[in-house]
Amino acid sequence: MRLAVLAAVLLAGSASAQTPVPPPPVPPPPVMAPGAQSVTAPPAVPETWLPLGSADLVGLDKITTRLTKFSVKLGETVSFGTLRITLRGCAVRGPNQPADQAAFLDIADARRKDFAFHSWMLLSAPAVAVVEHPVYDVKLAGCR
Per-residue pLDDT reduced to its tens digit, 20-65: 655 555 545 555 555 555 444 545 545 689 999 999 999 999 999 9
Residue 21 lies in a domain: no
Indicate whether 11 belongs to any domain: no
Number of domains comprising the chain: 1
Q: Is residue 16 part of a domain?
A: no
Residue 96 domain-assigned (yes or no): yes
Element (H, E) at 85: strand 83-93
Tell if the pTM clears 0.75, that is, is over it: no
Domain assignment present for residue 12? The answer is: no
Query: 69-97: per-residue pLDDT in tens?
Result: 999 999 999 999 999 999 999 999 988 88
The domain of 90 spans 49-143
- The reply to whether 98 falls in a domain is yes
Residue 62 falls inside a structural domain: yes
CA 137 – CA 133 distance, rounded (Å):
7
Residue 5 is assigned to a structural domain of this protein? no
44-48, 107-111, 116-120, 136-140: the lowest-pLDDT one: 44-48
